């Protein structure tokens, strides 16, 4: 019997009691029925709850399976326990099983540190952003909502979470960050290297950066509130300025080069872009000017241009014909002189070939010459004289240079520079004939002078003989005096004639070099001059002959004779100690002879004249005035030099330097 029922019966009837069999059987039926019912109810209850459980599990499953976000459950050791298909796909794995098999720490994280920071973030706010490595190695960024499931003691059993792919967003954010950084960098760089200013819509400065101030020499305070006129160089035309205004006020960017004036009045050049900023109605409300300093280049350009203009005008005004032709001889440039000189027009010339205008007889020579010029670059070659055909068929003689220039573009170019020398050639020819005529007549004259002088000496010496006899014959003092005067003037005449003979010898005769014994020569000269040396002038000779003197004996003799003779003649009669010093220094290459006296000397003004023909220092001089002239001429014939130093009242010093060979 059912225990619940028997308990109830016992409570109601009290104690053990015998129940009628009929009642017993009924009771048993009721009790069995109840048991049956109870069993059924329990069964139903069980089935119901089973059913309920089944529905929520499948709901969760399908959600889990079909969710777009990744869902996972993982162990503390770094293994997935469960993952949904979305996560498998996101991470690029082929199957759930494959993903479950990997080690999360090493396979999914790029760096251990990244995992640590992801875990930390996760602990603080339950929302983490981190990246994982996909199977192909690329990165995928996740935003995670996750939680730790722990046991009663607080240690983690497993970890579960939902992962959302935020790669696109993160990349965009990174991109933005990078471009923001870049913009900031650019801004900084621009401001550092560029000249920047801002003007309002009326053209008044509202901003200028430090570069602007540096180049213009104005301070920001001086600039702000002023308009463009503060830096106006007055270099640009009104059209230029108007064009800028039109461009920028119509909202377009203007680009160009401007010349400005600094505070201290100097100029600078900038390459600028003026950018108008437009309001909603499309009208400019401010203008940003960004410039770079191009002063140096501009100045160089200006100098180049000025130079070019200078050279151009030099070339165009040159009387020489300056032309340029290519390697084939085709003219690429001819200076205007070509029209004047050869009758060709500029245009006609450009149609011609350089060789074509050369006289046919001179063409082979010039072709060869051109080939030579082509070998070497940038050196002007002086070309032989040749003929250029004029338009009318006549020719002119020219001379000039050819230069092979390799131009910037690598093309060979010949620069030819020619001068018409036809007239000069005619003159030269005339000069040549006149010269030879002159030479001939000169020689004849010399010959004449020589023979006359020579012929004159004989009668003079017979005259002297006759005077000698007469002097002995007469006792008349007056006659004696007259005869003495006659003798003196005849001697003077003879001396002059002998000078003339020396002169004519020097100009007529070739230089004849031989070994000279200078000591012997000097002895002879001083000996011969004894008759003149009445004042007993002491003649001292100092000779350093370390080499053999080789020169023209006659000329050296004439030179020394004249110098020593003068040194005796122009002594001061009052001088008690008259002296002539001859000093010779010889080397293999030259001989230096100095003739020094302590005589009357020569004033500065006269020093310049004493070497002139027939110059005599004073009326009292009884010479011919030819002596020093002959000395100078002779020294020059020997390719030597002569110099004089003299102090009036103290003495004179003549020094000559003659090449010794």
From candidates 567, 593, 594, 642, binder to ligand ADP by CB under 6 A: 567
- Give the Å distances, CA to CA, from 3 to 7, 9, 45, 339, 391: 6, 10, 22, 150, 154
602 near ligand ADP, judged by CB under 6 A: yes
Closest separation in Å from C-beta 404 to ligand ADP: 58
| # binding residues, ligand ADP (CB under 6 A) | 22
Strands (E), 151-229: 156-165, 195-200, 205-208
Q: List Cβ neighbours of 623 (8 Å cut-off, separation of 6 or more).
A: 495, 496, 499, 569, 616
Whole-angstrom Cα distance, residue 303 to residue 280?
A: 47
> How do strand 513-516 and strand 549-552 relate by DSSP bridges?
antiparallel
Choosing from 70, 146, 623, 640, the residue that interacts with ligand ADP (CB under 6 A) is: 623
Exactly one of 70, 284, 599, 640 binds ligand ADP (CB under 6 A); that residue is: 599
Indicate whether 537 belongs to the interface with ligand ADP (CB under 6 A): no
User: Whose Cβ is closer to ligand ADP: residue 289's or residue 562's?
Assistant: 562
Of 500 and 610, CB closest to ligand ADP:
610
In whole angstroms, the minimum distance from the beta carbon of 616 to ligand ADP comes to 4
Cβ atoms of 140 and 130 within 8 Å: the answer is: no
Reduce the DSSP state of residue 76 to 3 states and report it.
coil
Q: Does 256 bind ligand ADP (CB under 6 A)?
A: no
Please identify which residue in 84, 291, 453, 624 interacts with ligand ADP, judged by CB under 6 A.
624
610: contact with ligand ADP by CB under 6 A = yes
Choices 298-306, 365-373, 375-383, 621-629 (CB under 6 A): range interacting with ligand ADP: 621-629
Q: Quick one: which segment of 21-29, 365-373, 537-545, 565-573 binds ligand ADP (CB under 6 A)? A: 565-573
| From 88-96, 99-107, 139-147, 619-627, span contacting ligand ADP (CB under 6 A) | 619-627
Q: Give whichever of 195 and 628 is closer to ligand ADP, judged by the CB atom.
A: 628
Shortest reach from residue 595's CB to ligand ADP, in Å: 8
Contacts 24+ apart (CB under 8 A), 265-269: 267/233, 267/235, 267/295, 268/215, 268/216, 268/293, 268/295, 269/293, 269/294, 269/295, 269/297, 269/298, 269/299
Helix H or strand E segment including 554? helix 553-569
Q: Confirm or reject binding of residue 566 to ligand ADP (CB under 6 A).
A: yes
* CB of 262 closer than 8 Å to CB of 268: yes
Does residue 594 bind ligand ADP (CB under 6 A)? no
DSSP string, 274-329: EEEEE-TTS-EEEEEEEEEE-HHHHHHHHHHHHHHHHHHHHHHT-SSEEEEEETT-
Output 321 or 558, the one with its CB closest to ligand ADP: 558
Q: Is 216 in the site for ligand ADP (CB under 6 A)?
A: no
- By CB under 6 A, name the one of 115, 570, 634, 656 that touches ligand ADP: 570
Interface with ligand ADP includes 71 (CB under 6 A)? Answer: no
Nearer to ligand ADP, 321 or 600 (CB): 600
- Kind of pairing between the strands at 381-389 and 395-406: antiparallel
Considering only 615, 637, 641, 645, the residue that binds ligand ADP (CB under 6 A) is: 615
Q: Which stretch binds ligand ADP (CB under 6 A): 132-140, 166-174, 216-224, 617-625?
A: 617-625
What tokens appear for 465 in the block? 């003989």
- Identify which range of 150-158, 165-173, 597-605, 635-643 contacts ligand ADP by CB under 6 A: 597-605
644 near 628, Cβ under 8 Å?
A: no
**Residue 600 found at the interface with ligand ADP (CB under 6 A):** yes
We find the least distance from the C-beta atom of residue 635 to ligand ADP, in angstroms, to be 13
Distances (CA, A) of 334 to 305, 367, 451, 552: 20, 20, 62, 57
**Residue among 520, 587, 514, 574 nearest 550 (CA):** 514
Question: Judged by CB under 6 A, does residue 652 bind ligand ADP?
Answer: yes
616 near ligand ADP (CB under 6 A): yes
- Shortest CB 459 distance to ligand ADP, Å: 23
CA–CA separation, 64 and 70 (whole Å): 9
The residues of the shown chain that bind ligand ADP, judged by CB under 6 A, are 562, 566-567, 570, 597, 599-602, 610, 615-618, 621, 623-625, 627-629, 652
């Amino acid at each position: 019997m059912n225990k619940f029922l028997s308990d109830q019966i016992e409570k109601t009837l009290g104690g053990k009691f015998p129940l009628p069999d009929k009642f017993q059987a009924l009771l048993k039926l009721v009790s069995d029925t109840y048991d049956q019912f109870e069993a059924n109810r329990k069964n139903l209850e069980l089935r119901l709850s089973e059913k309920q459980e089944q529905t929520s599990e499948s709901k969760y499953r399908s959600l889990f399976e079909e969710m777009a976000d990744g869902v996972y459950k993982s162990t503390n050791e770094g293994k997935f326990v469960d993952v949904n298909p979305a996560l498998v796909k996101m991470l690029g794995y082929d199957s759930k099983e494959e993903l479950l098999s990997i080690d999360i720490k090493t396979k999914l994280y790029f760096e251990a540190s990244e995992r640590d920071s992801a875990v930390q973030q996760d602990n603080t706010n339950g929302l983490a952003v981190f990246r994982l490595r996909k199977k192909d190695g690329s990165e995928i960024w996740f935003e995670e909502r996750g939680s730790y499931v722990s046991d009663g003691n607080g240690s983690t059993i497993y970890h579960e979470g939902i992962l959302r792919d935020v790669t696109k967003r993160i990349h965009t954010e990174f991109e933005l960050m990078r471009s923001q950084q870049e913009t900031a960098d650019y801004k900084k760089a621009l401001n550092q290297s560029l000249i920047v200013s801002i003007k309002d819509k009326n053209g008044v400065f509202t901003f200028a950066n430090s570069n602007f101030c540096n180049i213009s020499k104005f301070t920001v305070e001086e600039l702000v509130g002023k308009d463009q006129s503060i830096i106006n160089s007055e270099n640009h035309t009104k059209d230029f300025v108007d064009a800028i205004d039109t461009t920028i006020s119509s909202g377009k960017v203007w680009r160009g080069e401007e010349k400005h004036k600094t505070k201290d009045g100097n100029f600078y050049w900038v390459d600028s872009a003026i950018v108008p900023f437009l309001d909603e109605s499309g009208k400019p409300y401010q203008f940003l000017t960004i410039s770079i300093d191009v002063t140096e280049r501009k100045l160089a350009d200006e100098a180049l241009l000025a130079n070019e203009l200078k050279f151009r005008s030099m070339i165009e005004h040159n009387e020489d014909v300056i032309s340029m032709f290519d390697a084939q001889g085709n003219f690429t440039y001819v200076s205007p002189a070509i029209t004047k000189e050869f009758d060709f027009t500029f245009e006609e010339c450009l149609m011609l070939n350089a060789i074509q205008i050369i006289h046919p007889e001179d063409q082979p020579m010039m072709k060869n010459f051109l080939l030579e010029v082509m070998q070497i670059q940038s050196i002007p070659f002086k070309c032989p004289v040749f003929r250029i055909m004029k338009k009318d068929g006549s020719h002119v003689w020219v001379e000039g240079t050819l230069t092979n220039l390799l131009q910037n573009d690598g093309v060979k170019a010949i620069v030819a520079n020619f001068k018409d020398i036809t007239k000069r050639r005619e003159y030269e020819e005339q000069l040549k004939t006149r010269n030879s005529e002159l030479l001939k007549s000169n020689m004849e004259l010399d010959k004449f002078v020589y023979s006359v002088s020579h012929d004159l000496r004989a009668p003079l010496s017979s005259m002297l003989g006759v005077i000698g006899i007469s002097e002995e014959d007469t006792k008349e003092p007056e006659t004696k005096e007259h005869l003495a005067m006659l003798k003196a003037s005849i001697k003077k005449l003879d001396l002059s004639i002998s000078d003339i003979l020396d002169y004519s010898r020097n100009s007529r005769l070739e230089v004849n070099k031989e070994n000279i014994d200078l000591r012997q020569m000097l002895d002879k000269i001083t000996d011969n001059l004894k008759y003149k040396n009445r004042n007993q002038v002491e003649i001292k000779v100092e000779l350093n002959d370390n080499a053999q003197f080789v020169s023209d004996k006659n000329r050296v003799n004439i030179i020394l004779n004249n110098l020593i003779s003068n040194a005796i003649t122009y002594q001061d009669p009052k001088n008690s100690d008259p002296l002539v010093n001859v000093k010779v220094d010889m080397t293999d290459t030259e001989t230096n002879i100095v003739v020094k006296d302590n005589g009357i000397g020569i004033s500065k003004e006269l020093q310049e004249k004493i070497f002139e023909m027939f110059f005599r220092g004073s009326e009292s001089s009884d010479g011919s005035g030819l002596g020093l002239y002959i000395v100078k001429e002779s020294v020059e014939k020997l390719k030597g030099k002569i110099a004089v130093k003299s102090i009036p009242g103290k003495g004179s010093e003549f020094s000559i330097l003659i090449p010794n060979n």
